[in-house]
Every structure is written in C-alpha cells, then in structure tokens.
Structure 1
Amino acid sequence: MLISIILFFLIVIAVSLFIARYRKHSNKKTDRRSRETWAIGIYKGPSPLQLSPAADISNPILTAKDVTDIKARFVADPFMIQNKEGFHLFFEVLNDSSDLGEIGYAFSADSQHWQYRNIILKKRFHLSYPYVFFWDNRYYMLPECSDSGGIQLYEAKRFPDQWELAATILKGNGRFSALADPSIIHYKNRWYLFSYAIKSKNLHLFSSDALNDGWKEHPKSPIITASPQFARPAGKLVISDGTIYRYAQDETPHYGTRVWAFRITELTELMYNEEAVGDEPILQPGNELWNKDGMHTVDAHKSGSGEWMAFVDGFTIKADPLTV
C-alpha cells in the first residue's frame, strides 16, 4: 500500500514537471516569436524595387544593444523622415519586461552613423510600425496600435520627442476590431489608408477628404482577401515616376519572411486596381546573421542624386534553449 502511494506521488510529480516544462516552452520567453532577434539596416538601389545591402553602410545600423533606457528584446519597423537637421529614425522597440512594443528614436547627420536617443512614445498597449510623415507644416505618426481598439493619429508637439494623440481616425468594431500596420498616402487631393485585418487576413482600404476625420471604407475594400502572403502592409507607400507602389509582407511559411511589391494602377474614390511587380520578392532573407531568417519592412526614400535609400529590418532566430 505504501509503495503504491509513493508511486502515485512520483507519477504526480513527474506529470507536474512535464506540464511546467511544456508551459515554459510555450511562454513568451521560449516560443519562436520571442526568439526572433530583429535589427535595422539600410539598403540602396536605383529604384524602390531594386534594393540591396548598401556598400557604404555597416549593417545593421541599430540593434537591441543600442537601446539604453529600457531592456529591449529587439528593434524593428523602421520609418525615417529627413529635415534640415538630418535623418530622424523611428522604430518599434520591444520592451523585454512588459512584452509590449514602444516607439524609439535615433538620429544621424549623415545616414551612416546613428545614435539611439530614447523612447518617445509608450502606452498601456502595444505600439509598433511608426509610420511618420510631414503634412501642412506638421509632423504626424500613424503607429500600429490595434490593441487600443482603433487606428490613432499622433501629432508632434515638439519634434521629434513629444507626441500627442490628435485623433482616433478609425474605431475598432466588428471586422475592424484589429486593424494592423496602417499605411497612409495623400494622392490627388484625397487621403487613402491601407490596413490589415489580422483575423481574416484581408487588406482593407479607406479614404477621406480630411486627415483627422471623415474616413469611410472604400467601395472596393477589402482589396485582398484571406491572403497571409500579399495582404499585410510592409512599409511606406512610395511614388516613383508618377506610379504608386505598395509593399506587402509575406507571412508564409511564417511571420516576416519576405517582402513583395505591387504597382497601383488605379486609385480613386471609387476604383482600385493593382498588379504584382515581377515574380520575385524585393526583400528576402539575407546572407548575414542579422537578417538570415527573414525581412518584413521597407521604408524607401529617393535622394537628391536619384539613388534610393531604404530602411529595412531583418531577423535571426536564436536557438531554443530546451533543444540544445
């Protein structure tokens, strides 16, 4: 009888240890996403569709180790805006303690040497994809904040480090309850906003006469349905030689694998059409450690010389401590 009781308790202990090990394997510290180490680099090329590692840049230009004011797990989602002072870079910093994204800021006078400054925006919900732009003599940011219940527009009260909520331009409800990676463009006197519905994997399109309000879903929206490969925005919309291009993050076979480009052939208040640019992605896993497992953001800018400079991100996957 005593032996049976002892065996029973030994079995209970063994099962408990197995469950604890399984949970540890599944939590944020050991699952695949938590082992992704993202970093930021610069690519260059003759067009926003032909980009490769820049010969005059030592990539990556920013990593989690550069972040000095919080313990960062990684940096990703770079968006740059340039003015007479220099190059201002905004990006996601994943706080390792809270497991929430915050918006970080770095500066460069020459685009080659970068200095991390500080976290410039944090909330009680996750922030990433800080889509920054300049309009009507004001700096704006449209970050990914789907956990807030809507799409929020921020305005710089003191650029680059003080931002305030200007408007919630779309409120989450129904199929718009979790819209990710909002990407905006002003084209022919009208605003257009692309955003990704995480659950349905649809790409939705909205338009408005004004930036702060009046947003309505486009008659052709969703413009892409049930596509983890081509629906999710992957960076700033660009105009080159009068044509708009949008980048799409490929989530197959996993999140953040590569980036495709699409040429928008028609964009009006009532119509939308696009076509794929070639049969190959414009960004894919690189040959260096920092981006060997995938890339998922492109922020491309044309320089005065005609060359394009793109801020990109990439990741590598750390070994699972439970399998080594």
Structure 2
Amino acid sequence: MIKAKLKSIYKNIKRNALEKEMWQIAIRKRDGDTLYQGNRKGFRLVSNSIRYWRADPFLYEKDDKTFLFAELFDRFEDKGVLAVAKVSKNGRVGHFKVCLDMPFHLSYPCLFEKEGSLYMIPEGRQSGEISIYRCVDFPLKWEKDRVLFSTTGVDTTPVPQELCGDNEAFITTVNTEQDHNNNLYLIQADSLTKIKYNDTCVRCGGYFINDKEKWLRVVQDDTDYYGCRLVFNEVRSISSVSIDESEYLSVLPPGQSNGQNEISVSLTNSKEESKFVGIHTYNKSSKFEVIDLVRHDSRTWKVWAANRIKKKRKK
C-alpha cells in the first residue's frame, strides 16, 4: 500500500515537472484607491510551499479578523484542495489549513452569505456538478448543502440582487469539448441560460464589486493564453437572455507596459516581477486586496521532491 502510494506521488511529480506554470498569491493592505481605481502598487507575494502552490484567493471577515481562502494545488496528488489561513493586521498570511478536500479537483472557493449562514460554491467541474457547501464550524468544517446545477460549471459566482432581482442567481462558464469557457451562463430558478456568446473574456475572476454607484465584474481574459490579463467590466444589467457590460479597466501582470485604461500590478519585491506572465483573480475586503499571478516554475522544488521520493522507494 505504501509503495503504491509513493509510486503514485512520484508519477504525479514527473507529470507536473513538464508543466510551465505555477500560481502564487499576492496581498496588500488597502490604503487609498483600490486596484480597479488605478492603484497598482504594493502587492506582496505569499510564499508557496514545496508541496502546494496557491491560487484563487478570496477574503472573508469575521469578528474583526480576516481569513484568506484559496486553492492549494497539491503537486503530489495532482489536484486542488481548498484551504484557509488567518491574515494578521499587518497583512501577514498564516499557515493554511485544508477546509475542503474531495476525490476531484477543487478551486475558486467563492463565499457568500444567505439568511445568516455562510456558503461556498467552489469549482468542482470534474464532479459534473455545481455544488454549494454550508459552513457548519467556521472556518474548517463544511457540508454539502445542495446541487445548484448538474453541469461542468467553472468559477460560478453569485449575482448581486441589485442586478438580477429578488431571485437567487449565479453566473458561470461551462467546460466541455464543445464549450471551453467561451460562453457565459445565468443560473436562476433551476434554469441555465446563455447570456454571452463566443468570447474568450467571460470567465469570472472574483466577486462583483459595487464601486461608487456602478457595478464591476471581475473577468479572466484568456484571449492570448490562460490568465493573460484581468479585466474589470462595468455591468449595467443582467437578464435571462443577455448581460450588458463593457470593459472598464484592464490589469496586466507585473512589468508589462501600461496603455489607455490599462495598468500592470507592481510588487514590493521588484526583482520578482519579470518572472510573472499572467493574472486571473482579484478580491478585496475592507482591509486588504488579493490577486494571483502565474510564473514560469524554475522546478527546483521538483528536483528536490523527486530525489526525496526516490530515496523513500529504495528503503
């Protein structure tokens, strides 16, 4: 049993050694304007571990404390789990603890409150379902509450009532051979309807944002490659047949030139900036902002990990 497990881990390490991307979270304290208001400076990287890289950050505040939920991609198991860490008042992120682990890949731990309870609607497309989980013991214990819709939904996000009316609504993309996240769907009243067609810039990248009487939608742009940039779209209305939105601001990874209505994020450690080539999530709380960035992995950890596994197998 142990040898079989080690063999599986080693196989996953070898497969992941061929991957070019590794995601990493960055955080900053809110001070003045936000990212979508043009303030691009001061994001500090949160270190990955040998076993996990981290992406899809979401912030939640409870009892004057800030918690960071995220995907942890397990390089040994070759899948994502969801985890949470406390954020100190100065923005230091503590140790991540796994809060949801399934036999299939999990990511995008999108949280929302309803009638006094806290829910999570993560991406678990390999299960063939969009499922909602209810928190029964914050922040580590979650139970499956219901299946929202049976489809391979990706990055499902709740829609504010101001945009969709009193009925609960969500937007999502679908990942199939025929529909690779290029169409946007509205889920409402047990129905799934397409509201935006054939666009490589529709997939959600965080919560809706209410900014000075306008609504912004965080969108991943996959036009050139996965996560090439992040876009804030101004949303004017959402109906059962369409979404009326237009690009408000485009955000590029560090070190890229800025154009009209376009900025690139800046890190506290400028030496790291040239390593990053993409960005695909933004969220905020009253005290912090978080993003995730993708870099080309030097794969130093993979050499270290592979050697460790080889030594264990020889014992």
Higher relative contact order (CA 8 A, sep 6+): 2
The CA distance in 1 between the partners of 2:292 and 2:41, in whole Å, is 14
Query: Does the CA contact (< 8 Å) of 1:202 and 1:222 recur in 2?
Result: no
Query: Does the CA contact (< 8 Å) of 1:193 and 1:207 recur in 2?
Result: yes
Please give the TM-score of this superposition, normalised by the length of structure 2. Answer: 0.76
What is the CA-CA distance between 1:141 and the residue it aligns to? 0.5
Kindly provide the CA deviation profile for residues 145-191 of structure 1, in whole angstroms up to 9, marking residues without a partner as x. 0001110101000011000100110002xxxxx22111112314232
Q: Look up the SS of the partner of 2:77 in the other structure.
A: coil
Structure 1 outlier segments of 4+, above 6 Å = none
The CA distance in 2 between the partners of 1:48 and 1:182, in whole Å, is 22
Aligned partner of 1:41 in structure 2 is: 26
Please give the TM-score of this superposition, normalised by the length of structure 1. Answer: 0.74
State which of 149, 163, 187 in structure 1 corresponds to 2:161. Answer: 187
Pair 205,242 (structure 1): closer, same or farther in 2 beyond 3 Å: farther
Aligned partner of 1:14 in structure 2 is: none
What is the CA-CA distance between 1:310 and the residue it aligns to? 2.1
What is the CA-CA distance between 1:106 and the residue it aligns to? 0.5
The CA distance in 2 between the partners of 1:51 and 1:121, in whole Å, is 35
What is the CA-CA distance between 1:86 and the residue it aligns to? 0.4
The CA distance in 2 between the partners of 1:244 and 1:190, in whole Å, is 18
The CA distance in 1 between the partners of 2:82 and 2:90, in whole Å, is 20
Pair 274,53 (structure 1): closer, same or farther in 2 beyond 3 Å: closer
Equivalent positions of 1:308-323 (< 5 A) are 309-319=288-298
What is the CA-CA distance between 1:112 and the residue it aligns to? 1.1
Pair 202,311 (structure 1): closer, same or farther in 2 beyond 3 Å: same
What is the CA-CA distance between 1:50 and the residue it aligns to? 2.6
Structure number with bigger Rg: 1
Query: Does the CA contact (< 8 Å) of 1:72 and 1:93 recur in 2?
Result: no
The CA distance in 2 between the partners of 1:266 and 1:184, in whole Å, is 14
Pair 111,139 (structure 1): closer, same or farther in 2 beyond 3 Å: farther
Aligned partner of 2:251 in structure 1 is: 282
State which of 185, 195, 207 in structure 2 corresponds to 1:205. Answer: 185
Question: Is 1:215 aligned with 2:184?
Answer: no
The CA distance in 2 between the partners of 1:102 and 1:233, in whole Å, is 19
Equivalent positions of 1:241-260 (< 5 A) are 241-260=212-231
Residue type of the partner of 2:191?
K
Aligned partner of 1:5 in structure 2 is: none
Aligned partner of 1:158 in structure 2 is: 137
RMSD over aligned CA atoms reads: 2.6
Query: Does the CA contact (< 8 Å) of 1:42 and 1:312 recur in 2?
Result: yes
Question: Is 1:101 aligned with 2:80?
Answer: yes
Query: Does the CA contact (< 8 Å) of 1:194 and 1:203 recur in 2?
Result: no
The CA distance in 2 between the partners of 1:101 and 1:51, in whole Å, is 32
Q: Look up the SS of the partner of 1:123 in the other structure.
A: coil
What is the CA-CA distance between 1:270 and the residue it aligns to? 5.7
What is the CA-CA distance between 1:74 and the residue it aligns to? 0.7
What is the CA-CA distance between 1:273 and the residue it aligns to? 1.0
Question: Is 1:261 aligned with 2:232?
Answer: yes
The CA distance in 1 between the partners of 2:171 and 2:117, in whole Å, is 21
Query: Does the CA contact (< 8 Å) of 1:250 and 1:257 recur in 2?
Result: yes
Pair 140,51 (structure 1): closer, same or farther in 2 beyond 3 Å: farther
Pair 185,222 (structure 1): closer, same or farther in 2 beyond 3 Å: closer
The CA distance in 1 between the partners of 2:126 and 2:232, in whole Å, is 27
State which of 54, 58, 63 in structure 2 corresponds to 1:79. Answer: 58
Residue type of the partner of 2:196?
I
Pair 90,320 (structure 1): closer, same or farther in 2 beyond 3 Å: closer
Q: Look up the SS of the partner of 1:128 in the other structure.
A: coil
The CA distance in 2 between the partners of 1:268 and 1:251, in whole Å, is 24
Residue type of the partner of 2:37?
Q
Aligned partner of 1:211 in structure 2 is: none
Query: Does the CA contact (< 8 Å) of 2:284 and 2:290 recur in 1?
Result: yes
What is the CA-CA distance between 1:47 and the residue it aligns to? 4.2
> Between Structure 1 and Structure 2, how many residues are aligned?
266
The CA distance in 2 between the partners of 1:108 and 1:283, in whole Å, is 25
Kindly provide the CA deviation profile for residues 72-127 of structure 1, in whole angstroms up to 9, marking residues without a partner as x. 33101000111224001110001111101000111024151221241111000000
What is the CA-CA distance between 1:319 and the residue it aligns to? 4.3
Query: Does the CA contact (< 8 Å) of 2:68 and 2:84 recur in 1?
Result: yes
What is the CA-CA distance between 1:52 and the residue it aligns to? 4.2
State which of 229, 236, 258 in structure 1 corresponds to 2:207. Answer: 236
Larger deviation, residues 150-159 vs 79-88: 79-88
Pair 269,255 (structure 1): closer, same or farther in 2 beyond 3 Å: closer
What is the CA-CA distance between 1:51 and the residue it aligns to? 4.8
